[in-house]
Amino acid sequence: MNDQEDKIDDCVRQRTLKTSISCAGIALHSGADVTLNLMPADAGTGVVFHRIDIHDKDNVVPAIWDRVVDTRMCTSIGNDDGVTVGTIEHLMASLAGCGIDNARVELNGPEVPIMDGSSEPFVSLIECAGVVEQSAPRRVIRILKPVNVEVGDSQATLMPADRPSLDVEIDFDSAFISNQALSIGLVNGSFCKELARARTFGFLHEVEQMRAAGLAKGGSLENAVVVSQDGVLNDGGLRFDDEFVRHKMLDAVGDLYLAGGHIIGQFSGIRSGHAINNALLRALFADGEAWTVDVMRSTEAATAVDGGLTAEPVSAPT
């Protein structure tokens, strides 16, 4: 065995889906009916979206930070031909939380379907499809020094750490939500256990404003937590007492996975959202001294982001 093989054997390997799997649902903002096919991809591919409803221009959009074109109420990415894919954050969070490095996502519409407003349906799809290891080592981005972005009263920071972790605080002018804070290390399946079920949320008085702006046309109590002055309107109430901050953390996991790999570092967000999350990645990659591309070592396997899912080994790239 040569030195290169020794190096690969000493690393956590990339992972993809064992087989393709599909789902269908409504798009939160456009209201369109969308079918999604989640498919395996070769090692080194990353996450790539493919708009199969578009045939007269480039219909492939890589899920990467510098392709973000809109952060109003969701994260949208686009390519040079103007083809966009919206509301990708919940799917991206599930791929990150389950340790899926490479995947191809086919869509026949402009957005990822919202499903129940959380990442849990996508985690279930990944579990059903199965996971396989690939021959290449997992690519990670290690944070080497603090990077901070502030916009108004919002703040987002990445700091060096020996494992992926998040520290998020929210503060809403709502007696029902008010101030919530949570800290989680993304290890040992914590994403699937602690965050995946947390649903997106909105305020009743903002619904008409969003629809007037062409947003939330597909929103309902089936796919979002709606808060009024009197509390939550959804039957069954909340899934967690602090579901709101958990969902903001879920969003951050998805937005940060647009770094192009798992971030080894600590994210801290105060009243953060999609816009500042992307601004943080842009600030990070603008400073070559703040990060480095590395591979995840086998000695770090205990802190690997894998969603607790067991991957079948393969001897050749999938």
Which are the catalytic amino acids? 274
Residue type, 285: F
Residue 302 sits at φ, ψ, to 5 deg, of -65, -25
What is d(CA 76, CA 239) in angstroms, rounded to the nearest whole number?
A: 27
Q: How many residues does the chain have?
A: 318
- As given in the structure block, the two tokens for residue 232 are 């939550």
Alpha helices in 73-157 (DSSP H): 89-97, 120-129
Cβ-based neighbour number of residue 39 at 10 Å: 19
What is d(CA 262, CA 140) in angstroms, rounded to the nearest whole number?
A: 5
Beta strand ranges found along 45-87 (DSSP E): 47-51, 60-62, 68-70, 76-78, 84-85
Q: How far is CA 180 from CA 143, 153, 168, 242, 308, in A?
A: 26, 16, 8, 7, 27
- As given in the structure block, the two tokens for residue 289 are 């001294």
